[in-house]
Each structure stands twice: as C-alpha cells, then as structure tokens.
Chains A and B, each alone.
Chain A
Amino acid sequence: MMRRSPVLLTVCILGFVFLYAPMVSLVIFSFNESKLVTVWGGFSTKWYGELFRDPQILQSAWISFQVAFVSASLAVVLGTLAAYVLMRFGRFRSRALLTGMVTAPLVMPEVITGLSMLLLFVSLEQFVGWPKGRGMTTIIIAHVTFCMAYVAVVVQSRLSGMDQSLEEAAMDLGARPVRVFFDVTLPVISPALVAGWLLAFTLSLDDLVIASFVTGPGASTLPMVIFSKVRLGVSPDINALATIIICIVALGVAIATFQLRRKK
C-alpha cells in the first residue's frame, strides 16, 4: 500500500473538522438538559418534546414544506422548458442574450430579487387585483423565479451531453416531436430533473431573504421563525429542530444517491 503523506492526512482531517464541528456540537447540544445553550446540564430529549408542542414552529415548518414542494415542482417544469428551448431550437437571434437572462437570477443578490418581487406584487395587486395581499402564493411565485434558473442550468448541461441522435432515431421511427419529448428526451434527462427538483426544494426551504420581502401576515416560513427566535436569544429547542432537519436532509441525500447508483 502507498504510504499516505502525514501532511495530506492532517489537512484532510482539519477540513472535515472545519465542516462538521459546528453541526456535531449542534446535535450534541440538542440533547442538553440545561436551558442555557452553552452549558452542558446532562442528557435529555425534552427539547424535542418541547418542539413538537410549539404550534408556531410546526405551522411554519408545514408552510415551508408546502412552499418548497410547490415551487420546486413548478420550477422543474418551467426550467426544463426553458432549457429545452435554448438547447434544441437551433441558433436563433438573441439566443445568447436569453441564455444569459435565464441564468441571471443565479448571480443576482437576493435582496434585489426580493425587493423587485415585492414591488411587482404591490403594483400587480393595484392594477390587476392579483395576487391579493401577500402570503404563501407570493412566496411560491418568488421562489419559482429564482429556482427555475438553477433547474434550467442543471437540465441544460444534461441536454447538451445527450446524444441528439436519440431524438432523431425516435422521429425516424415515426414519433412526432411532442411524442419524442415524452418518450425519449424526458426519460433520458430525468436524473437532471430529479437533481434540479432537489436543488430547488433545498433552496426554497433555505431561503430567508426573499421570503421575508414577499411574505404577508400568517405566512412565516421556518427560516423566518428560526431567525426571529434566535434574535431573542438562542433557545435549545432550535437545536433540536436543526438536528431533525439535518437528519432529514442526510436521509434524503442517501436515498437519492442510492437510487441513482442502483439505476446505473
């Protein structure tokens, strides 16, 4: 066996410690008996119980989940269409411009996206009467717009790596373009759709800034609730909540990886 350089090993360990130490301490302190977050007072799961009795957190978690689910799904549909058009409609005028514009939300500061969305919704309500007030609907719309850009990028790269003669072969065998899309293109790029959906879901679940701009009364997402709670001092039940989220995410990633590997 090759001897590993001790320097490399040290760097590697330090890197992982840097990445995971905060999370590990968070998980450990979620089982802390003490009300003070920084003082260890013995093992306990009481904060988990506390958490599930807190209606505000449960409700906001449910809202966040709905928002993330709906906006990820819509973003996948719209992002895929955008990517398909940009990749498959040959060279048309202003294609480069459109490609750039689709991906612009990726680099746009969230504050600006949020502010512009807010202004849009306000004036829409004034002139069109929809969306009425602000709440879950407006958060979803705002999330779709920026998640769509991520999906478009992921799908675009998959499409460009796809052998175009697959689509030609289907057409050659008698399938019309719409049929070709559903029979061949969609199944072939489906891993990108799954990846795009997961990415969009995470981004939406994670978003604090844009949601804060476009939300209304009664529609606080989980990050907003956490943030407002933390401002009043970190309470141990937030640690418990974070631990649960970490577990869910880890489980999701593990399942996705396993599925993809089995497919291969």
Chain B
Amino acid sequence: METAPLQGAATTKPWREGTEEPFVRIGRVTKKFGDFTAVNDVSLDIYKGELFCLLGGSGCGKSTLLRMLAGFERPTEGTISIDGQDMGQLAPYDRPTNMMFQSYALFPHMSVEKNIAYGLLRDGMKKPEAMEKVADMLRLVQLEKFAARRPDQLSGGQRQRVALARSLIKRPKLLLLDEPLGALDKKLREETQFELVNIQETLGITFIVVTHDQEEAMTLSTRIGVMDAGEIVQVDEPPAIYEHPASRFVADFIGSVNMFEGHVTDDEPDYIRISSRDLGQDIHVGHGVSCSMGQRLWFAMRPEKMRLTREKPEGVINAFPATVQDVAYMGNLSVYRVKLRGGRVLSATRANLTRHEEDGISWDEEVWVSWGDTAGVVLTQ
C-alpha cells in the first residue's frame, strides 16, 4: 500500500513489549440498552500517542464504546480509566477527553472563532489569552481567513477542520473521533487522512477513531480493533489485520477475499492439505497448522495474491484451470472474475504495469489460476 510510511505514527510499539502502562484501559465493559447488548464484555488497552481505530459495520457497538469513553453513556458493567484515573461516574464536562462528532456539531449561531474558543472560555480562560490560542489553532488547520464566518458559510472540508480544531483546542489527553472523514468526498478524504495523522504526530495526543471505512482505518491507525456484534474480534497493527486475520469475519470485512471451505486431508508438521468441493484438487499449504485430520476449516485467498496465466505454471502445486468471465478495468489494476471447473467464481486482480497491454488476458479465455503455498490464510473459526 502506498501509504505504508505513515503506519509508524507512534515510533515505538509499546503494545508489543508490554512494559509500558496502558494509557486508556477499558476493562470488561458491557453496555445494555434494555434487552439489547450494544457492547459485550470488551477489554482493550490503548497506549499513549496511539492512533487507534475502532473498525466495524453499523450497529457493531463501536460508537457506543466511544460515547462511553466521552461520558455520554455509562457502562452497565466494567470500568474505564484514562491516564490512571478512573472515569467511573465522571460527567463529560469533567473528563480529560474531547470528541469530534460525526455531524461535526458546530454551533450554528457562533462564528468559527467562537466555536473554537468555546471550550477554553468554559474553562475560565481570559478572552485575550483564549483568542491567541484560537489564532494558533486556526493556523494549524489553515483556516485563518475564515475566523469570522459562520459554519453554514463553510464547505464540508472546512467544517471538518473547524470541528477538529475545536476538539483539539483544550489539548485533551484523549481525542475521540466519530467517523471524522465520513462526510467528505473521496479525494478530500484522502488528503485529510494525511493531515489528521500529521496533526496527531505534531500534538502527540492519543486518538481513538471510530470508522466503518477499512481503507481509512488502514491508512490512519497504529492499531485497529475490529468489532462485530458488540465484541472486539481482533486487535492488531494494520498489516497484521490484513495478512493474518484471526477469523473469517475479519478476513471478509477487511479487503476482499476468496474463501474456500474444506477439511484437512493431510496434516504434517511442515505442510497440510485441504480438500474443498469448489476445487478439483487439494489445496497445498506450505506450513504447519494446528489442526487435526478431517477438521473443517477455511482457506482465505486475497485476489491480489493469485496469478493468472495462459500456460500452466511450472513447479506450482496450487494451480487450477478456469475461464475468464468478466474483466473490470479499474485504472491501476484490473479485477478478473474467473470461473473454476466446479462452477465457483473467484476474483483475482492484476496490476496494470504497462500502458499498452494488447495481449492482456481477456473475456472467455482459458487460464490457470495459481498461488504460492504460503499465499493464503488458514482459518479455523
């Protein structure tokens, strides 16, 4: 991924060493609304300076968890502490956190300047001093010219930056961002992602970002917590989430994947073989997996890790004949939908490396789909 250099937002990785005290501790938190359990027994440690993404589909409980950190909701069970301080019954206005809302929640009757100054003035700061800080902040988010405007006179991207400035002005220990880029169009979203990471690095504030956009999570975060049905299903660094998903849900949710269901037919210390009804022959996995003979499991194959060739590749065990059904040209790459002999349709991508590929693989061609013996992931749940 071209955004790889950003993924070292925190230069150290305290979650790997386990020596540093976590900055935010969420301990066995459950939140129920009547009979509905929105967040179910979630425990999570987040370290100082992290940009942590909570990723999940709508209704997975990620926003509820964020609102509990901000103090708008109280956990039904469990504890939350920030910087060693128990949040317990603390009201939102007493917490060392600030939040950037999905709707931005800019006060419509106040100018940009007054919106940003609001938090400082509520803390009893004198007006001249507050205005000085506001001016600094406006410079940081490049909105100096818009200080006197009202929110409804700004574009979406400008509003987003005002909301960010307002939530940063008090230098919170922890900044909570609810879908911070959700309302922006694609181009602006990409630019803003980098800006957000830069600001986070400049200020050194710990960020927790809620998003349903996996690309956004990948680009921004030091670590991602994937949520499903109120539970955290995997917490890891972005490359690990992508390359080593812990379950079928994560593999499927992050990126696209071809999933084969099968059972173990050969279980050796240095390789296993999986038989799947979709494929005419067994899948060969070139490393040991802790499983037993005959066990049901799933084999996940990313589209970009498969190769498409006209000739059967030499020396590759996992090669399957197929027919090209569809080709979608995306510019930087092409997505092929190929039909295996058994009828199963897979998607495979090819990078468009040259500008003129007259003899590229096309519709209705007979091809071979192949992959290396460590290219896929074996999932047992």
Which residues of A are in contact with B by a Cβ distance under 8 Å? Answer: 163, 165-166, 168-176, 179, 183-184, 187-188
Contacts and interface: CB of A to CB of B under 8 A. Distances in A.
B105 A173 contact: no
A165 B93 contact: no
A174 B103 contact: no
B161 to A, nearest CB: 15
Contacts of A188: 107-109
B92 A172 contact: yes
Contacts of A174: 93, 119, 122-123, 170
A156 B105 CA distance: 20
Given A172-B99, A175-B93, A166 B70 contact: no
Given A168-B105, A173-B119, A176-B93, 14 more contacts: A165-B103, A166-B107, A168-B70, A169-B101, A171-B92, A172-B97, A173-B98, A174-B93, A174-B123, A174-B170, A175-B118, A184-B107, A187-B107, A188-B108
Contact of A170 (B108, B118, B170): B118
Q: Which of B71, B93, B102, B166 has the most chain A CB atoms closer than 10 A to its own CB?
A: B93
Contacts of B71: 172
A151 B118 CA distance: 30
A173 B103 contact: no
Contacts of B119: 173-174
A169 B93 contact: no
Instruction: Pick from B70, B102, B106, B107 the residue with the most CB of A within 10 Å.
Output: B107
A210 to B, nearest CB: 36
Interface residues of B, number: 24
B109 A168 contact: no
A165 B92 CA distance: 13
A169 B122 contact: no
Contacts of A184: 107
A194 to B, nearest CB: 14
Interface in B67-104: 70-72, 91-93, 97-99, 101-103
A170 B92 CA distance: 10
B112 to A, nearest CB: 14
Contact of B122 (A163, A166, A173, A187): A173
B120 to A, nearest CB: 9
A103 B167 CA distance: 40
Nearest to A163: B103
Which among A163, A171, A187 has the greatest number of chain B C-beta atoms within 10 A? A171
Interface of B: 70-72, 91-93, 97-99, 101-103, 105-109, 118-119, 122-123, 166-167, 170
Given A175-B93, A175-B122, A176-B93, A170 B107 contact: yes
Nearest to B99: A172
B107 A168 contact: no
A165 B101 contact: yes
Contacts, number: 60
A99 B123 CA distance: 37
A181 to B, nearest CB: 13
B41 to A, nearest CB: 25
A173 to B, nearest CB: 4
A169 B99 contact: yes
A163 B170 contact: no
Contact of B118 (A165, A173, A187): A173
Contacts of A169: 99, 101, 105-107, 166
A169 B123 CA distance: 14
Tell which of B70, B101, B166 has the most Cβ of chain A within 10 Å.
B101
A89 to B, nearest CB: 15
5 closest A-B pairs by beta carbon, nearest first, are A173-B119, A174-B122, A169-B105, A165-B105, A187-B109
23 contacts: A163-B103, A165-B102, A166-B105, A166-B108, A168-B70, A168-B92, A168-B99, A169-B99, A169-B105, A169-B107, A169-B166, A171-B91, A171-B92, A172-B71, A172-B92, A172-B93, A172-B99, A172-B167, A173-B166, A173-B170, A174-B123, A183-B118, A187-B109
A170 B117 CA distance: 11
Contacts of B108: 166, 188
Nearest to B172: A172
A163 B106 CA distance: 10
Nearest to A168: B72
B354 to A, nearest CB: 50
A178 to B, nearest CB: 11
A19 B276 CA distance: 79
Nearest to A173: B119
Contacts of A172: 70-71, 92-93, 97-99, 167
Contacts of B109: 187-188
Contacts of B92: 168, 171-172
Contacts of B101: 165, 168-169
Nearest to A174: B122
A179 B119 CA distance: 12
A176 B72 CA distance: 13
Nearest to A167: B105
Nearest to A180: B93
B129 to A, nearest CB: 16
A170 B103 CA distance: 14
- Identify which of A169, A183, A188 gathers the most chain B CB atoms within 10 Å of its CB: A169
A173 B130 CA distance: 14
A55 to B, nearest CB: 46
Contacts of A171: 72, 91-93
